[in-house]
Each structure stands twice: as structure tokens, then as C-alpha cells.
């Protein structure tokens, strides 16, 4: 019978355990980031008609919190996958547009094509871990996440990018950067405390997921970043079927297919829509499918560490990461070991 003792501690596991160190490095880099001050001075919303937020995979999904913060501050944000932006929306790359481009490597095929198409027409803020990458060299404002090397499926670069985007959100919305930085400072220790008990959490999740064939992770608002990235991480690291979507979208179709062998993980998220998410858990529990709420006041492996609101989307991903170890142990594989994909996508 599978247990945490069956977790193969390969490179992905090492990256997971190194997240506290990566977060400390990113926090220190952001504290000294001159580019954020420059962005706050030179990128006011009075200078641009719109702001386009772009990336691929987890880099794209992770933009939900920034999109919401910018809309609340009076911007007109547009989230567009980089692959779609370069082929179907190139007209947006003009002087009245501010682009926020996220690429952990800074050299994916879509990112390079975006830089070629832009040719300095739109101002570009690049958020990347690749200090010597095309994105870092050619953007107008580089925000470095300084997460260190990452070998397989994105984990520490995802959470450090979330930290960087929170600081970028403060710069673009006019929020107090010093306050935001203090709110993020504890994240590294929170990760360290949580990961110290990884085996216990994985054992609990193994029991919850035993016999499950399909996973849905759902959320609303900022937590959409967690649900969509979490499902992508499960697919990429375990080859297990998982889908991430909004809780409302789940009711429009997928709810009809609920049956034994389906697991629905619901992220409670912010207070505005928590009651709706709790109701979804109750409704799913009324079928033969399984449903659990991931929340700060949940028990065991479903509990999300309590942190300032600015850090929520950093720590929310932790249970999904533990699910990758649990599902890999159940299937007898090494989590995060690439068989077909590569760390950097070279084809658009």
C-alpha cells in the first residue's frame, strides 16, 4: 500500500523543498529592486490606454491576482496568452499599451517572438528568473525573481513569481510598497514550517486520493491562479488527469459528470465568494464524487497556512504540490520527471 515512503526524492522533490530558500532570495532582491521604483514613477495609468498581462502556463494563470488589483486601481487590464497575443492580437503592441510579460526562463519561443514583434513599440515590463535571457535584456523594466536554478516542473519559480507580481501590483496601483514588502516577508518561514511536515501531509492525501481517476481544482477570484496552476502542475508532474477552472464554470457542465473516482478540491479563497465555494463542496458531497475545501480553517492536509492577504496565492499552492507527491506515489512514478516535455518550450 502506497505511503510517503514511496515518494521518489528526485530533482522536482528537491526543488519543492528549496522553495523557502528561493523565497528568501526573491524577497531580498525585490527589496533592492530599483526597477520597481522606476515603474512606479514612469508607468502611471494616465500614460497608457491599456495594460496587457501575458505569459504561458503557470506564468499566465498566475496573473489573476495582478489583474484584479489593477482593475480595482482603475487600470484596464487584459490577460492574453503570449501565443495568442503574437498571432491574433499584435495590434495591441503599440505605444499606448503597457505590457507585463511573464516568463520564468525569459527565453521561451513565445516570449522571443513577442519581443521580435514588439520592436520597442509598447513598453514592456519583464518578470523573469533568467538574468541573461532575451526578456531580461530587451524589456524596458526588468523585475528579477532570483529563485535560483530550477530543474523540472515549475514550483519555486511559480511562488517567487507570485511574490514579484505582488510587488509589481503595488508599484502599478500606488499601494505602499514598504507595507507590501513586510506582508510578504514571512512567506519563506511559512513554507519552511509547512514543508517540514511534508510526509505526514502526503500520507493524508494518499488516503484521500486513493481510487481517484480525475481531479478538478476550482476557485474564484485571485485563487483561480492556484486552481489552474495546481491542475497544470499535477498533469505535468504526475501524468494524472486534472483540470483547473473557476467554481462557477465547474457548475456549467463538469458538475453533470460527477461520479465515483472524481475528486474536487475547492480553494476557499477570499471572503467575497467563500460561501459560494462552501456550497459547491456540499453539493459535490451529495454525489458519489469526493469534495474537500482547502482553507485556513480546514483540518490536516487541507489546511492552508494563515498569512497576510498579499501572500495567500503564494501559500495556497502548497496542498496542490503535496498532491503531486501523493499521486506520484500512488502510481509508482517519480513526480516531475520529464518524459516528453522540456523545461523551456522551444516551439510556439
Q: Examine residue 340 and state whether it is found in any structural domain, yes or no.
A: no
Residues 173, 210 within the same domain: no
Q: Examine residue 257 and state whether it is found in any structural domain, yes or no.
A: yes
Q: Examine residue 72 and state whether it is found in any structural domain, yes or no.
A: yes
Average pLDDT score, the chain = 95
Residues 178, 201 within the same domain: no
What whole-number percentage of the chain has pLDDT above 70? 97
Domain that holds residue 286: 197-331
Q: Examine residue 338 and state whether it is found in any structural domain, yes or no.
A: no
Residues 21, 95 within the same domain: yes
What is the rounded (10 degree) CA torsion for 258, 261, 262, 268?
A: 120
Residues 158, 255 within the same domain: no
The SS3 call for residue 265 is strand
What values do phi and psi take at 261, rounded to 5? 100, 0
Residues 116, 89 within the same domain: yes
What values do phi and psi take at 185, rounded to 5? -60, -35
Residues 37, 170 within the same domain: yes
User: Who has greater pLDDT, 309 or 344?
Assistant: 309
Residue 345's pLDDT is: 60
Per-residue cell: 190: 511559512
Residue 342's pLDDT is: 60
Q: Examine residue 288 and state whether it is found in any structural domain, yes or no.
A: yes
Instruction: Express each pLDDT in 244-288 by its tens digit.
Output: 999 999 999 999 999 999 999 999 999 999 999 999 999 999 999
Q: Examine residue 326 and state whether it is found in any structural domain, yes or no.
A: yes
What values do phi and psi take at 326, rounded to 5? -65, -45
Q: Which residues of 8-44 are buried (b: 16+ CB within 10 A; e: fewer)?
A: eeebbbebbbbbbebbbbbbebbeebebbeebbeebe
Q: Which of 308, 304, 309 is nearest to 320 (CA)?
A: 304
Residues 120, 95 within the same domain: yes
Residue 340 binned pLDDT confidence (cut-offs 50, 70, 90): low
Structural domain ending residue among the three candidates 138, 160, 186? 186
Structural domain ending residue among the three candidates 161, 186, 211? 186
Q: Examine residue 55 and state whether it is found in any structural domain, yes or no.
A: yes
Q: Which of 114, 112, 116, 135 is nearest to 125 (CA)?
A: 135
Name the domain count of the chain.
Answer: 2
How far is residue 326's CA from residue 265's CA, in Å, rounded to a whole number? Answer: 14
First and final CA of the chain: distance in angstroms? 42
Q: Examine residue 339 and state whether it is found in any structural domain, yes or no.
A: no
Structural domain ending residue among the three candidates 163, 186, 209? 186
Instruction: Express each pLDDT in 70-104 by its tens digit.
Output: 999 999 999 999 999 999 999 999 999 999 999 99
Residues 282, 140 within the same domain: no
The CATH number that applies at residue 293 is 3.40.50.10490
Helix spans in the chain (H):
11-17, 19-31, 34-42, 58-61, 64-72, 82-88, 109-118, 134-138, 156-173, 177-185, 187-195, 198-209, 224-238, 247-251, 271-285, 312-315, 317-331
Kind and range of the H or E element at 226? helix 224-238
Per-residue cell: 287: 454525489
Residues 230, 179 within the same domain: no
How far is residue 188's CA from residue 175's CA, in Å, rounded to a whole number? Answer: 22
Residues 225, 130 within the same domain: no
User: For strand 214-219 and strand 141-144, is the pairing parallel, antiparallel, or unpaired?
Assistant: unpaired
Residues 28, 153 within the same domain: yes
DSSP string, 298-314: --GGGBPPP--GGGHHH
The angle that helices 177-185 and 19-31 make with each other, rounded to 10 degrees, is 160
Residues 145, 252 within the same domain: no
Neighbours of 4 (CB within 10 A): 18
105 in Cβ contact with 343 (< 8 Å)? yes
Is 341's pLDDT higher than 90?
no
| Arithmetic mean of pLDDT, 316-345 | 87
Amino acid at each position: 500500500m502506497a505511503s510517503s515512503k514511496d515518494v521518489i526524492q528526485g530533482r522536482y522533490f528537491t526543488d519543492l523543498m528549496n522553495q523557502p530558500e528561493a523565497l528568501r532570495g526573491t524577497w531580498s532582491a525585490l527589496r533592492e529592486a530599483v526597477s520597481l521604483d522606476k515603474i512606479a514613477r514612469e508607468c502611471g495609468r494616465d500614460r497608457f490606454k491599456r495594460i496587457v498581462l501575458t505569459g504561458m502556463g503557470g506564468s499566465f494563470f498566475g496573473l489573476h491576482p495582478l489583474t484584479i488589483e489593477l482593475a480595482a486601481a482603475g487600470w484596464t487590464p487584459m490577460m492574453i496568452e503570449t501565443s495568442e497575443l503574437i498571432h491574433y492580437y499584435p495590434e495591441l503592441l503599440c505605444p499606448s499599451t503597457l505590457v507585463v510579460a511573464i516568463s520564468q526562463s525569459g527565453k521561451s519561443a513565445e516570449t522571443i517572438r513577442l519581443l521580435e514583434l514588439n520592436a520597442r513599440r509598447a513598453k514592456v515590463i519583464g518578470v523573469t528568473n533568467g538574468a541573461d535571457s532575451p526578456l531580461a535584456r530587451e524589456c524596458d523594466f526588468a523585475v528579477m525573481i532570483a529563485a535560483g536554478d530550477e530543474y523540472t516542473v515549475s514550483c519555486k519559480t511559480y511562488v517567487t513569481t507570485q511574490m514579484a507580481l505582488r510587488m509589481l501590483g503595488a508599484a502599478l496601483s500606488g499601494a505602499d510598497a514598504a507595507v507590501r514588502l513586510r506582508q510578504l516577508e514571512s512567506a519563506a518561514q511559512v513554507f519552511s514550517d509547512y514543508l517540514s511536515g511534508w510526509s505526514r501531509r502526503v500520507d493524508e492525501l494518499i488516503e484521500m486520493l486513493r481510487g481517484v481517476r480525475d481531479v478538478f481544482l476550482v476557485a474564484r477570484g485571485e485563487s483561480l491562479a492556484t486552481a489552474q496552476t495546481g491542475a497544470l502542475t499535477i498533469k505535468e508532474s504526475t501524468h494524472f488527469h486534472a483540470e483547473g477552472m473557476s467554481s462557477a464554470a465547474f457548475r456549467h457542465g463538469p458538475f453533470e459528470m460527477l461520479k465515483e473516482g472524481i475528486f474536487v478540491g475547492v480553494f476557499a479563497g477570499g471572503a467575497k465568494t467563500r460561501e459560494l465555494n462552501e456550497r459547491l463542496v456540499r453539493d459535490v458531497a451529495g454525489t458519489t464524487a469526493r469534495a474537500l475545501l482547502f482553507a485556513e480553517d480546514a483540518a490536516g492536509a487541507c489546511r492552508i497556512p494563515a498569512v497576510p492577504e498579499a501572500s495567500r496565492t503564494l501559500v495556497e499552492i502548497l496542498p496542490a504540490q503535496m498532491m503531486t507527491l501523493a499521486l506520484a506515489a500512488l502510481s509508482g512514478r517519480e513526480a516531475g520527471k520529464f518524459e516528453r516535455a522540456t523545461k523551456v518550450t522551444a516551439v510556439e
